[in-house]
Amino acid sequence: MNVLRVILAVPEAVVVLAMPPLLMSVIAKTKARFAGRVGPPWLQPYYDLAKLVRKAPVHSRTTTWIFRAGPIVSLAALLTVALLVPVLTRGTPLGFAGDVILIAYLLALGRMFTVLAAMDTGSSFEGMGAAREVTFGAMSEPALFLSFVVLAVAGRSLELGRMVGAPPLGAWGPVGPAMVLVVGALLIVLITETCRVPVDDPATHLELTMIHEVMVLDHSGPDLAAITYGAALKFVLLGSILLHAALPHGGLPAWLDPPLRIAELAGLAVLVGVLESSLARLRLNRVPLLLAGATVLAGLATVLTLMRSTA
Amino acid sequence: MNVQAAVDIVLVLVILLDLAMLAVSRLSTLVRLFAIQSLLLALLPMAEGLLSGTMPGMHAVEITGGTIGIKVVLIPWILLRIIRTGEIHAEVTPFLGFAASLFVGAVLVAASFAVSARLPLPMTPLSAMLVPASFSTLMIGLFVLISRLKAITQVLGFLLVENGIFLFGLMLLKSMPALVEIGILLDVFVGVFLMAIVVYHIRRTFDHMDMDALSELEGR
Amino acid sequence: MAPILVALPLAFALLCLAVPWARLRVVLLVLGTWAHLGAVAWMWVGRPVEWVQVSFVGLDALGQLFVTLLSVLFAATSVYFAGYEGRTAVSQRAFLACMLALLGAMSLVCVSRHLGVLWVALEASTLAAAPLIYFHLGSRALAATWKFLLMNSVGIALALLGIFCVAVAAGGRGEALWLNRAIVRPLDVDPTWLRVGFLLALVGFGTKMGLAPMHAWLPDAHGEAPAPVSALLSGAVLNAALLALLRVYHICAEAGQGAFAGQWLIVFGLVSVGVAAVFMFGEADFKRLLALSSVENMGIIAVGAGLGAVAAYPSMLHVMHNTLNKGIVFFLAGLLGHVFATTRMAGIRGVMARMPFAGVLLAAGLCALCALPPFGTFFSELGILMGAAQAGRWVVLAIFTALLAVAFVNLASAVVPMIFGRPPEEVTPAPAAASIAGWRRHTMLTVAGLLVLLAAGLGAYQPEAVRNALAQAAESVCRPGDDTAPVATFAEVQP
């Protein structure tokens, strides 16, 4: 790794880490536009985070260290993932062959600690949320993995940074239909993992219908800030994987990448906002069908890709 | 985008529609999905002509026209009419849950790809995906036939089987006399028409369309 | 000439739709079927074998045999139907038109020279037969119709896939589907796809033929349909599917896959005979019992055809006699159903005592079904057994014999009490007996009696022409190989 690369990585890291709350703001603004409102100020998520960080956390006496570790481990896992996922440029700071598996497991680790922290409170609502989170997580993971398989076969690499976007539009030639399916599957995974509308409603007020929100009810202050920021970061990371797979910048000069990717992420946020405004939330018992659909899409894509690569 | 890629995408869409038909619960949506699938299939004989660089022949035009007329317009119209006359029972009642059927469907699709990889064709088809797509449609049709109880979903299962065979038959486009193709289409149409009449009578007699009740024959 | 066989019944069907008087329509049905029989007879005496080939239709020996059987059965049934009374749920006009259309469609099956046309005709025959089953009102008839329609349509659809596979096996060349230009050089054919094609055709046509694992629709349809329609289903519709299967089998045999195809025919045949034999035990309904007997007989024919050239001749003989026998027993079942007002065997007792003539006929029918000597089925089954022995298929021979014995016992023990048993006290002589007019009963009995005479006559003595026709048909199923000359050895046991 040369010095220039390191120097260039610093501003990139700053942008990547600073961007997530802004994207949440984009989603909120889009939804507000659809509802005919002005919406909160653009920087509102940053104000919220700053306010939360300044507060002192309150911990229930029934909780143990797991409750305190939960948000920190989750955020740490996501930050590690951020080093492995190409966001603004084509390379990744820490990429190595096989890092896709680490990425998937880091995401799972973060989820596990969130769930454990929720169960540690002993509240029945949070236990219920934890059960749902685990169920849906377990059902979306096959879709994620199968998508990775397709990308790995298409990109002939096990390193995420090389898998996605590396082959120019060539990836779309022979395995074109498969890529369409993978993008569909990844979009569903993104929506599930970031708790967006057809699956989960981040703005709901009813504990009974919550999935993610109900698990973090007992967190406060900096812990809650970590969780909120982590959720936004997750959106950026998974969104980046999706965008790099869907829109490889093969023929374009490298310096165009960062501005284009930022614009694309914003576009994705708008898309999610539009989806949230136009779709009704699915009944809880229909969510598994959606996730099964994602898995089937990814599975079909796998079959297609394998057929092509062996033929 | 060249014709070959378009054919591939159409075939993938056909498979996706098969799978979607396993996940959808409204009968009318099911019928519409079938109509869309048939429309996609109807376009393929045209692609055959385009692919070989010539204008589609009279034969292909006939098949496309016949398929659109019968499978895209007439049959869905009949089925939608039947469904609309009994608004109460407009949902599918499967043996197996939707998610489970979807997984079975995915396994069937994978199996179709595996089987067709084992059976090398003695000729070059329209696309390498033609045979797998045909087998998938066929198998999912058979699966719908055995896993769904309503008479009308069974009709749709039969139609899916038909569509699968139509796909397979595309390989023989040049060697099948047009008379035979039209005869097949007419048979399917009359068959569905008769089935629709029987479904209508079944509903009048049993007051619902569950084939479960028809098992009384066995208890005799 | 051959197109006339198809056009004639269809023309009469249209006439039937147009004519406003119910009586006249029945007359038209009889006229139509007898005109068809006349055309067939003219073919037999007129020109021997080289028929004019009008691209899609034409006659060969096999088609000629089947179309003749079809025509005889329809002619008998139409007369019988004139005596058969019953309220129809579908209008009588549509019913009769469907019957004639069925005759037309099945004639097309017999004379088609292209597998695609054959398929279209076969599916058309399913569609024409479906309304016939919905003759009696009610939920059971409806359910039976539904089962018949759906299972047969799906089965036949699979057979279409099988036909496509055969064409693909020949490299997509359309000639493979023309029966008169059969594949000559086995090298040109992909064996895997041909096998796949045959298996699909076996399952598909086997569904319509009533071969065992796919026979679920058959007892229901036969049990619910009125007796004349049951006779047509058993004697003609199953034969049409059998013919289609034999056509595909012939292509396989020509392409060097005869052994493989025969193997599977034998497996399905034995399973059919076994399933039918077992399920006959404990069947309470007479017509359903007869339907199971149809399954058994189709199984016997499949085994015979599967054995190859050594048993092809007796198989064709069995096809002929089975058609006649099915006419006899279903006609009697219809009559008894009228007289006793039930088709349940427990309610039909002492036929011999009440109606001696019908009793004698029923006994004869039973003998024919059980393959007892005066009837041709004895010779045909014996021939198939001898063929199995000749081919050295001892396992097949053993299983086949055992299953036939079981079927014999079950069938006889179910039917004998009907003939000789004492009428149970609680069953009063059905009021329906008085309500059928004498001429109706006489018509039905006469038709059945004439068929018995025909069957027994053909069993005891075969004219040269019939024997030649059967031999030629057998040859066009499976050409005798270099092993032996089976027809010669078999002719020794023939009277």
pLDDT tens-digit series, residues C63-116: 888 999 999 999 999 888 888 766 555 677 888 888 899 999 999 998 888 888
Q: Which of A169-183, A220-234, C4-18, C458-472 has the lowest mean pLDDT?
A: A169-183
Residue A87 makes CB contacts below 8 A (sequence gap 6+) with A12, A16, A236, A237, A240, A261
CB atoms inside a 10 Å sphere around CB A248: 21
- The answer to whether residue C136 scores a pLDDT higher than 80 is no
Closest-CA distance of chain A to residue B114, Å: 9
Of the candidates A177, A178, A292, the beta carbon closest to that of B103 is on A292
Residue A139: CA count within 13 A, CB half-sphere: 22
Residue closest to A296 by CA, chosen among A179, A146, A138: A146
pLDDT on residue C300: 93
Task: Please list the residues that pair with C344 across neighbouring strands.
Answer: C285
Look at chain B and report how many structural domains it folds into. 1
The pLDDT of residue C187 is 59
CA distance B56 to B60: 6
pLDDT above 90 covers a percentage of chain A that reads 33
Q: Where are the domains of chain A?
A: 59-249+279-310
Calculate the CA A301 to chain-centre distance. 21
Q: Tell me the chain A residues in contact with residue B129 when contact means C-beta distances shorter than 8 Å.
A: 304, 307
Chain A hits for B103, CB-CB cut-off 8 Å, are 292, 295-296
C and B make contact (3+ CB pairs below 8 Å): yes
| pLDDT for the residue A79 | 93
- How far apart are the CA of B45 and the nearest CA of chain C, in angstroms? 16
Report the candidate in C273, C436, C307 with the shortest Cα–Cα distance to residue C383: C307
Residues C247-282 pLDDT 10s: 888 888 888 788 888 899 999 999 999 999 988 888
Tell me what pLDDT residue B207 has. Answer: 60
Whether residues A300 and B102 touch (CB distance < 8 A) is answered with no
What confidence tier does A170 reach under pLDDT thresholds 50, 70, 90?
very low
Are C149 and B194 inside 8 Å of each other by CB? yes
Of residues C371, C289, C299, C372, the one with CA closest to residue C332: C289
For the segment C365-408, what is each residue's pLDDT rounded down to a tens digit?
888 888 887 788 888 999 999 989 888 888 989 999 999 999 99
A74 vs B: CB within 8 A:
no
List CB contacts of C185: < 8 A, sequence separation 6 or more. Answer: none
In this prediction, residues A280-304 reach a mean pLDDT of 84
Average pLDDT taken over every residue of chain A:
85
Q: Quick one: which H or E segment has residue C183?
A: none
- Name which of A167, A129, A195, A207 is nearest A309 in CA terms: A167
Domain of residue B82, residue span: 3-217
Reply yes or no on whether the pLDDT at A174 is more than 60.
Answer: no
User: Up-side HSE of residue A296: CA atoms within 13 Å toward CB?
Assistant: 27
Res. C487 pLDDT band, cuts 50 70 90: very low
**pLDDT of amino acid B54:** 66
Pairs of CB atoms within 8 A across A/B: 56
Retrieve residue C171's tokens: 């490299």
What subunits touch chain A, counting only 3 or more CB pairs under 8 A? B
- The average confidence (pLDDT) of chain C is 83
Q: What is the pLDDT of residue A232?
A: 92
pLDDT digits (tens, 9 = 90+) for A109-120: 999 999 999 999
CB hemisphere CA count around A271 (13 angstroms): 14
Nearest CA in chain C to B193: C127
Report how far residue B66's alpha carbon sits from residue A297's, in angstroms, rounded to the nearest whole number: 32
Q: How do residues A76-110 score in pLDDT, each as one tens digit? A: 999 999 988 888 887 777 778 888 899 999 999 99
Q: Which chain B residues have a beta carbon less than 8 Å from that of C119?
A: 180, 184
| Three-state secondary structure string covering A275-304 | HHHHCCCCCHHHHHHHHHHHHHHHHHHHHH
Under a CB-based contact definition with an 8 Å cutoff, are residues B165 and B48 in contact?
no
Backbone phi, psi, residue C134, to 5°: -85, 45
The rounded percent of chain C whose pLDDT value lies above 90 is: 22
Tell me if the pTM is above 0.80.
yes
Q: What's the pLDDT band for A178 if we cut at 50, 70, 90?
A: confident
- Which of C122, C123, C220 to mutate against chain B (most B CBs within 10 Å)? C123
Nearest to B113 among A181, A288, A303 (CB): A303
Q: Is B121 in CB contact (< 8 Å) with chain A?
A: no
The ranges assigned to domains in chain C are 1-225+241-256, 259-495
For residue A311, give the nearest of B12, B109, B128 by CB distance: B128
Contact A307 B113 (CB under 8 A): yes
Verify whether the Cβ–Cβ distance A296 to B19 is below 8 Å.
yes
Q: Distance from CA of residue C62 to its chain's centroid?
A: 14
ipTM confidence = 0.89
- Find, among C44, C123, C137, the residue nearest to C466 by Cα: C44
pLDDT in tens, chain B (220 residues): 577 777 888 888 899 899 888 888 888 889 999 999 999 999 888 887 777 666 667 778 888 888 999 999 999 999 888 888 765 555 666 677 788 888 888 889 888 888 888 888 877 777 778 888 999 999 999 999 888 877 888 899 999 999 999 999 888 877 778 788 888 888 889 999 888 888 888 777 766 545 555 554 443 3
Q: In a 10 Å sphere around its CB, with 0-12 CB exposed, 13-18 middle and 19+ buried, how is residue B154 labelled? A: buried
